Structure 1
C-alpha cells in the first residue's frame, strides 16, 4: 500500500474513532422544542468523561460560557445572571439540563469537547413555546342587536379565541376537514377566528390551537350557543333603550292619573268600591 493511501486510511480511521468516542458531529445542529416551565436536557452522547477531558457549554450568538467540567470539577460561569440556579451538569456525561425553562432561554447552545484525542463541537437550537390554554368559543353578541338583522339572519356567527399566545395556529374543523385557520408569530397577543353555521346544523365542529409540540381542542355545542333571537331578547333589547327620563315621565303620568281617580272617588263614594278606591281610603 502506498504512503498516500496509508495516510488517507489513517485520517478516516481517526475521524471515525473521534466520533465514536465523543458521539458528536461538528456540523450538526439539533433542533429542540420545549414548553415553557418544563425541563430540557441537552445530551453530549458521551458515556463517560475522562478526567483530563474538558466539557464547555456556551449560549447565544456571542457564545457566552455558561457551564464547564474540567479535571472532574464543575463550574457555572456566572450563570446566575442568565439562568439563576436552573442549570445542572451531569458529572459523568457532561449533559446540560435547564430546569423551569423560560421563553428568553430560546437560542443556540454550543457544546465543545476538548481532549488529547481530539476536539469536537455540537450545537443545539432550542425553541421555548408558551404554555397553551384551551380555546374559548362565544357567539357574536351583535347578531340580535336590531330587528333587521334578526329578521334576515338564518345563521349563527361564532368566534373562537385564545389569549396571550406566541407562534401558534388556530383552526376550525368540520368533522376531520379543515375549514379555516390563522397563524401568528408575534408575542403574547389575542388570536380569534370566526365561524358561521346554520341554526339547525347537525355537523360536529371543533376549534383547535396548536404549536409544534402541543395542541388543545374545544368542541362546539351548537344547541347551547346557537339559539334564534327570541321575544325575550327583543324585549330586553328594547328595555335597554329606555332612558331614566322616560321612566320618570311615565311615573309622573301614572301618579297624576291615580290622584285624579282618588279625588273623583271621594266625590262619588257609592260608585267606586274597587280595589284601588279601597287602597286609597285605607292607606292615604
Structure 2
C-alpha cells in the first residue's frame, strides 16, 4: 500500500461497507456487525496488502464484493456451496436435479456445471431470454440427454450412463446462491 491509499471493501446489492483502511489517517476498521452480523468475528484485514479474508465461511457470504483502492474498483463474485446433495440413479434411467425455485425472475441467470473442471453444461439467461444446453462438451457425453425446465431451472439427465456419475453445481448469478449435487449412476 502507498502512503495516501484509501481502501474500502463493500458487499452485496446495497454496497454495504464491511472494511476500511485509510493509510494517511493510520486507520483500519472492520464493520463486522453490519448486515445482521453475518460477518461478526469472521473478517481479517491485512494491513500490509489490504487483502480481506473471511473465516468460517457460509452460504450467506455468497455474493458480490467490491474492492475500491482510491478511485480504482475491482469486483469479486464469491459462490459458497452448501452441503452436497447425493442422488443415485440406475443406469439408463433419468435423474432430475431440482433447483428448488418455483419460478425464475427476469434478471436471473443460472448455470449448471459438471465435474472437477466445472465445465458449463447448461444455462438459462432470463435477461436475454436464452436457454442453452452445451451437450457437445466433454466429448459429447451429454448429447441429447439434458433437459432444462425454463420455469424452475431444474436439470434432467435422461438415459444416464456411468460417465454421468459425478459432481454437478447449480449457480444462481442473479441471486448469488448455489447448490451442489453428487450423482451416482449404478448398474444392474
User: Which TM-score band applies after superposition, normalised by the shorter structure?
Assistant: 0.5 to 0.7
| Secondary structure of 1:52's aligned partner | coil
TM-score (norm 1): 0.38
The answer on 1:120 being equivalent to 2:155 is no
1:65 and 2:120 are equivalent in the alignment: yes
Aligned to 1:83: 142
1:78 CA displacement: 4.1
**Structure with more of its chain in strand, by fraction:** 2
Tell me what 1:251 maps to: none
Match of 2:165 among 106, 109, 127: 106
| 1:181-229 C-alpha deviation (Å, 9 max, x unpaired) | xxxxxxxxxxxxxxxxxxxxxxxxxxxxxxxxxxxxxxxxxxxxxxxxx
Which segments of structure 1 move beyond 6 Å, counting only runs of 4 or more? none
1:69–1:31 distance in 2 versus 1, CA, 3 Å? same
- Counterpart pick for 2:98 among 43, 48, 63: 43
Q: Structure 1 pair 5/58, CA: closer, same or farther in 2 (3 Å)?
A: closer
- Secondary structure at the residue paired with 2:34? helix
User: Structure 1 residue 107: deviation in Å?
Assistant: 0.6
Do the aligned residues in 1 keep the contact of 2:124 with 2:131 (CA within 8 Å)? yes
Corresponding residue for 2:152? 93
Aligned pair count reads 119
In structure 1, distance between residues paired with 2:33 and 2:117:
40
Higher helix share: 1
The superposition leaves residues 230-258 of structure 1 with CA deviations (integer Å, 9 ceiling, x where unpaired) of xxxxxxxxxxxxxxxxxxxxxxxxxxxxx
Deviation at 1:124, TM superposition (A): 0.7
| Corresponding residue of 2:89 | 34
The change in CA–CA distance for 1:106 and 1:47 in structure 2 (over 3 A counts) is same
- The CA deviation at 1:6 is 6.1
Gaps of 5+ in 1: 19-24, 132-284
Higher relative contact order (CA 8 A, sep 6+): 2
How do 1:218-257 and structure 2 match up within 5 A? none
SS of alignment partner, residue 36 of structure 2: helix
Q: Which has the larger radius of gyration?
A: 1
Structure 1 residues 10, 73: closer, same or farther in 2, change over 3 A? farther
Q: CA RMSD in A?
A: 2.7
Distance, in Å, in 1 between the alignment partners of 2:160 and 2:97 is 13
Check 1:102–1:112 CA distance in 2 against 1; reply closer, same or farther (3 A cut). Answer: same
